Every structure is written in C-alpha cells, then in structure tokens.
Amino acid sequence: MKVLHKRTGKLLQATLIVLVGLAIIKAEDRQEIAIPDLENYLTLKCDFHTHTVFSDGTVWPTVRIEEAWSDGLDVIAITDHIEYQTHKEYGLSDYNAPYKIAKDLAEELGIILVKGGEITRGMPLMHGNAIFLEDVEALSVPDERTAYMKANEQGAYVFWNHPGWRMPNEIPVWDKVHDEYYKIGLIQGIEIVNGTSYYPLTFQWAIEKNLTILGNSDVHGPITSEYIRNTIRHRPITLVFAKKRTHEAIKNALTDRRTAVYSGNNIYGRETFLRPLAEEILQMTDRDVKFYNKDFTRIQVINHSCLNLELERGSGECPITFSKTTITGQSTGIIYIYGDLESMAGKKIDLPVKVNNFLTGPADTLTVALEIKLISRMKKLISRDNSG
C-alpha cells in the first residue's frame, strides 16, 4: 500500500505539473513589436532560450508557443537542460519531446520553432545553448567538450549563456576553456542580455572576437510571472535580420552575425545594422523646414518603433543645436532647433542626432544625420506688415 500511495502521489504531482502549464490564461490578442524591417532584411523577433517541465521549467511546451504568439515573436527555441531534469522521475525525460509536442501548434500559429538544448556543466564554462539541433539526445554524453562537439557535428548553432551567472557582481570571466572552445569554433555567439541582466563586458567581447550578439528571456515559469508586456520589463529578445522567414535563413543570419538585442528601452548591436535600423525608425515628416523666427524653429520627427527614443545633439560642426528630447513609441514628436537660421536659409544641413538608447558598444551610442533644408518665411511676414 505504501508503494501504491507513493506512486499515486507521483502521478498526481506529474498531472498537476502538466495542468499548471495548460491552465495559463490564453491571451486572445497578439502584441506586435514595432521594430521595422531593413531595406534588404526582415527583422525577426526571436527568443532562443526558454525552458519547460522537461527540465526545470513549470509549463508545458505548447504554452511556450502560445506565449510567443501573444508576445509578438516570430521565432522561439525550447532549450531544456540536458543534464538537469527536475521532473525526470515523472517520465518527462525525452530530450526531443518538447519540440515534438510543440511543433504542430507552432506551425498552426505561424511561429518558427527551433529545436534546441542547454548543455549544463560545471565551472568555468557553465551553460551553453545548442540550437538547430537534429537530435538533442546526442548531447547527453559524460564529457562536456564532447557534448559541444556533437552539437557542432549536427550543424547546430552554439552560444554561451548568461556569462555573468554566479560570478562575483555578475562580472563575466573569459577563461582558458572559453578561449579553447572559441578558437576551435565550438561556440559562435554569446548572450549579452539574459533576462534582466545585461553584461557590458560580453558586449565588448562579441565585438572584439566577432561573436554573434544575443539576448534572451531564459524563462522558466509562465512568461507573465517573469516579464510584463509593453513595459520596461518586457521579455528581452534577439532581433535577427534574415533574408527570409525560414529556419535556414535564420541560421545563416546568426552565422553572419546579423543580430541585435532589444531589452528594456535599448537596442544593442553592431553599427552595421543599428544605423539602417535607426534610419528606418527615425524619419522626418518634411525635410523642408520653414522658419518664421530668425533664432529658432521646430522639426517634426516620426518614431516608427515601440521604443521611447532618447535623442540629443550629436557631435559635429553643424551650426544648429537642440535640447535633449524623448519621442515616445509610435508617435510624432517635435524637436526645437536653435541657431542663426537666416544665415542658413536655402541650405541643406545634416543635423547630427545621437540616439542614446541605440548602443553600438558598452560605452558607444549611435549618431544619425537628419537632413533638413531651412526655408525662410521672414521676408514675407515683414512685407505683409509693411503693406498695411
């Protein structure tokens, strides 16, 4: 009887785990993340680091798909731990099961589901995600290095997760094992954002070592228990600039390092992609700017993104200046510009604008130029006054 009670208890507990996942309130609306495409690439919104009950998460794999759809994602990877399976005793131990369970719903909702797994080993490497796997089971081997090799042999894409985790003050350390794996190509990318943690040092490493920049949620519980949609606490995501909306195109984009990270109210990435992205987001209503006062006028700027753009005058020899301005997401804002406008009438001017929440390095922000032409209306006003 004791044995029967024990088994019954385990079955009930396993059932509850599944029910918790299935009982998540389904959102009936989909948030669209307003970050535009580039001229030659689609901007796909991706989360390549999530967990389910098949490791140490608390939701069923299909819930991750529903959440991804609701949060406006295009792509999601389920990356349960290879070595750490909290619910294994309840039969939730098939490494490939999360993908098999979730793939039909993903196809139905138009979400690209990527098969993955997280290699969870000891210090100093800690954790790495392998995505675009063919068989997650193949990574279940005793030796860490062999696991990374087997992932790469499948043509997987492998990146280093949360490098500051369990480090003093969350400051990452580049150890000799990282150097070895990097040099022989076993890791190709690195998370600069994981959940609510941002690692400036790994951002610098990514630039210096030509690693792909990634940022992911690493969600374990229901997404709504860890993140708040449409706030500064939204799910962090990787922006992938892909030629097509396919597995192959996404993987190619990762390999070519065509990514950025959207976290909080910031976008982090290489200038190569942040500049054209900012130019798509920040646009003038009219480049011909009329002025009726010799000292100041205003320009109207459209923000085509969901970010609140934090703008200030960039460095340069332009004779026009303006004060710090914030243009809220998906709105048109006014920037008051100052200078000797009469002396510049009829001229085209490149106004340097620093976008403080577009970071191209740990201490570097992007500056773009807004091309304007100043059109004087001063003489017409004077003439009208004298005619009376």
Closest listed residue to residue 81, CA positions, set 104, 54, 60: 54
Question: 13 pLDDT exceeds 80?
Answer: no
HEC assignment per residue over 170-202: HCCCCCHHHHHHHHCCCCCEEEEEECCEECHHH
- What mean pLDDT comes out for the span 181-189? 96
If asked whether residues 73 and 144 sit together in one domain, one would say yes
Structure tokens at 25: 């309130």
Note whether residue 386 is domain-resident: no
Q: Which of 269, 295, 327 is the last residue of a domain?
A: 269
pLDDT at position 7? 39
Note whether residue 336 is domain-resident: yes
**Which of 192-201, 265-274, 310-319 shows the lowest mean pLDDT across its residues?**
310-319
CA 282 vs CA 152, 266, 269, 317, 335: distances in Å:
40, 15, 17, 21, 12
If asked whether residues 249 and 179 sit together in one domain, one would say yes
Note whether residue 6 is domain-resident: no
If asked whether residues 43 and 75 sit together in one domain, one would say yes
105, 79 in Cβ contact below 8 A? no
Does 273 or 93 have the greater pLDDT score?
Answer: 273
If asked whether residues 163 and 289 sit together in one domain, one would say no
pLDDT at position 15? 45
Note whether residue 19 is domain-resident: no
Question: 222 pLDDT exceeds 90?
Answer: yes
Note whether residue 356 is domain-resident: yes
User: How many Å apart are CA 332 and CA 329, to the nearest integer?
Assistant: 9
pLDDT at position 314? 95
User: How many Å apart are CA 340 and CA 25, to the nearest integer?
Assistant: 59
If asked whether residues 80 and 213 sit together in one domain, one would say yes
Question: 223 pLDDT exceeds 90?
Answer: yes
Residue 164 pLDDT class (50, 70, 90 cuts): confident
- Could you report the per-residue pLDDT of 119-129, keeping only the tens digit for each? 988 776 778 99
If asked whether residues 298 and 184 sit together in one domain, one would say no
Closest listed residue to residue 206, CA positions, set 260, 136, 243: 260
User: How many Å apart are CA 221 and CA 50, to the nearest integer?
Assistant: 9
User: How many Å apart are CA 260 and CA 372, to the nearest integer?
Assistant: 29
- What mean pLDDT comes out for the span 131-149? 95
pLDDT at position 5? 40
Q: Can you give the CATH number for the domain in which 99 is found? A: 3.20.20.140
If asked whether residues 233 and 327 sit together in one domain, one would say no
Residue 168 pLDDT class (50, 70, 90 cuts): confident
Q: Which domain holds residue 310?
A: 282-379
If asked whether residues 372 and 226 sit together in one domain, one would say no
If asked whether residues 128 and 235 sit together in one domain, one would say yes
Q: Can you give the CATH number for the domain in which 374 is found? A: 2.60.40
Residue 233 pLDDT class (50, 70, 90 cuts): very high
Distance of CA 65 to the CA centre of its chain: 17
* Count of domains observed in the chain: 2
Question: 328 pLDDT exceeds 50?
Answer: yes
Percent residues over pLDDT 90 in the chain: 80
Q: DSSP letter string over 40-63? A: SSEEEEEE--B--TTTT-SS-HHH
Question: 197 pLDDT exceeds 70?
Answer: yes
Q: Which of 242, 269, 296 is the last residue of a domain?
A: 269
- What mean pLDDT comes out for the span 281-297? 93
The residues, any chain, with a CB within 8 Å of residue 272's CB and separated by 6 or more, are none
**Beta strand extents in 69-124 (DSSP E only):** 75-78, 112-120
- What mean pLDDT comes out for the span 97-117? 97
Please give the angle made by the CA atoms of 217, 360 and 317, to the nearest 5 degrees: 150
Q: Which residues pair with 119 in a beta bridge?
A: 128
Question: 18 pLDDT exceeds 60?
Answer: no
pLDDT at position 83? 83
241, 75 in Cβ contact below 8 A? no
Closest listed residue to residue 52, CA positions, set 248, 228, 219, 283: 219
Q: Which of 211, 240, 269 is the last residue of a domain?
A: 269
CB neighbourhood size of 149 (10 A): 17
**Residue holding tokens 């200046």?**
321
Residue 94 pLDDT class (50, 70, 90 cuts): confident
Residue 89 pLDDT class (50, 70, 90 cuts): low
**Which of 180-189, 199-208, 339-348, 376-385 shows the lowest mean pLDDT across its residues?**
376-385
If asked whether residues 260 and 349 sit together in one domain, one would say no
- Could you report the per-residue pLDDT of 298-325, keeping only the tens digit for each? 999 999 999 999 999 999 889 999 999 9
354: left (phi over 0), alpha (psi -120 to 50) or beta: beta
If asked whether residues 245 and 333 sit together in one domain, one would say no
Share the mean pLDDT of the chain. 90
**Beta strand extents in the chain (DSSP E only):** 42-47, 75-78, 112-120, 127-131, 157-160, 189-194, 197-198, 212-216, 237-242, 259-263, 266-269, 282-284, 288-291, 296-303, 309-313, 321-322, 325-327, 331-338, 348-361, 364-376
**Which of 39-43, 44-48, 232-236, 289-293 shows the lowest mean pLDDT across its residues?**
289-293
Note whether residue 2 is domain-resident: no
42, 244 in Cβ contact below 8 A? yes
If asked whether residues 65 and 190 sit together in one domain, one would say yes
User: How many Å apart are CA 306 and CA 23, to the nearest integer?
Assistant: 30
HSE, CB side, 13 Å, CA atoms: give it for residue 197.
19
Closest listed residue to residue 45, CA positions, set 193, 184, 235: 235
Q: Which residues pair with 331 in a beta bridge?
A: 303
Note whether residue 134 is domain-resident: yes
- What mean pLDDT comes out for the span 348-366? 96
Note whether residue 350 is domain-resident: yes
Exposure string of 17-48, with b = 16+ CB inside 10 Å and e = fewer, is beebbeebeeeeeeeebebeeeeebbbbbbbb
